[in-house]
């Protein structure tokens, strides 16, 4: 799905992410720094961050936990915990208190948008892009971060990792990214884009 100055020129079921909701590189750099250490203090900080995630976004945290509680191989499970927490921390870093709580029905609606978009692409042999390509256009820095870690995991554990399990983790992270993107509160006085009016 290509965009020109925020205008959609190819069909997609995925709603555009408003410019104010995009996660900038500085937020991801801060997350990289916070997750770089592997000591007791760093682990305590991660536990605290996961507690904040569960308290502020219980429906979303529950959806992530639902995927991660399935019988996944250890590598995919570790990747899932890392990416889901890193995505949450990036939004927390970028948007702080300006995130609405995502309710269960909103989460279901977001997942249905992704499923519909995937179905549109499966039924159109001329469609060159996948749904994650569309999401990458909406949240480029986040998807680059996610792809970086997924690719590194697959390369480092190519002989042992279950690719289907990694895909399940990747998909729930895509849902998390979209849901959090739509939950960012519009800044006071920020104009409503035409694409949002049509969404």
Q: Is the pLDDT of residue 34 over 60?
A: yes
pLDDT 10s digits, 151-183: 999 999 988 899 999 999 999 999 999 999 999
Confidence of residue 196 (pLDDT cuts 50, 70, 90): low
What's residue 5's pLDDT? 41
pLDDT in tens, 118-164: 998 888 877 778 899 999 999 999 999 999 999 999 999 988 899 99
Task: Judge whether residue 36 has pLDDT over 90.
Answer: no
Mean of pLDDT over the chain: 87
Angle CA(26)–CA(5)–CA(114) in degrees, nearest 5?
Answer: 75
Buried-exposed string 101-127: b where 16+ CB fall within 10 A, e elsewhere: ebeeebbeebbebbeebbeebeeeeee
Per-residue pLDDT of 64-113, as tens digits, reads 999 999 999 999 999 999 999 999 999 999 998 899 999 999 999 999 99
Give me the helices (H) in 57-99, please: 58-68, 74-95
Answer whether 0.85 is exceeded by the pTM: yes
More confident residue, 50 or 175: 175
| Confidence (pLDDT) at 47 | 83
């Amino acid at each position: 799905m290509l965009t020109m100055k925020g205008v959609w020129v190819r069909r997609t079921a995925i709603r555009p992410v408003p410019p104010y909701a995009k996660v900038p590189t500085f937020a991801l750099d801060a997350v990289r720094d916070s997750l770089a250490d592997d000591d007791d203090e760093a682990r305590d900080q991660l536990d605290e961050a996961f507690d904040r995630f569960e308290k502020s976004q219980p429906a979303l945290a529950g959806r992530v936990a639902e995927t991660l509680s399935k019988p996944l191989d250890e590598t995919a499970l570790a990747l899932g915990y890392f990416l889901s927490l890193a995505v949450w921390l990036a939004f927390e870093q970028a948007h702080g208190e300006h995130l609405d709580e995502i309710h269960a029905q909103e989460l279901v609606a977001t997942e249905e948008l992704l499923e519909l978009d995937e179905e549109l692409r499966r039924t159109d042999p001329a469609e060159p892009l996948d749904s994650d390509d569309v999401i990458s256009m909406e949240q480029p820095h986040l998807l680059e971060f996610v792809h970086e870690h997924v690719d590194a995991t697959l390369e480092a554990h190519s002989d042992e990792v279950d690719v289907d399990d990694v895909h399940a983790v990747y998909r729930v992270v895509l849902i998390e990214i979209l849901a959090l993107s739509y939950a960012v509160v519009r800044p006071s006085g920020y104009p409503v884009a035409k694409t949002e009016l049509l969404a």
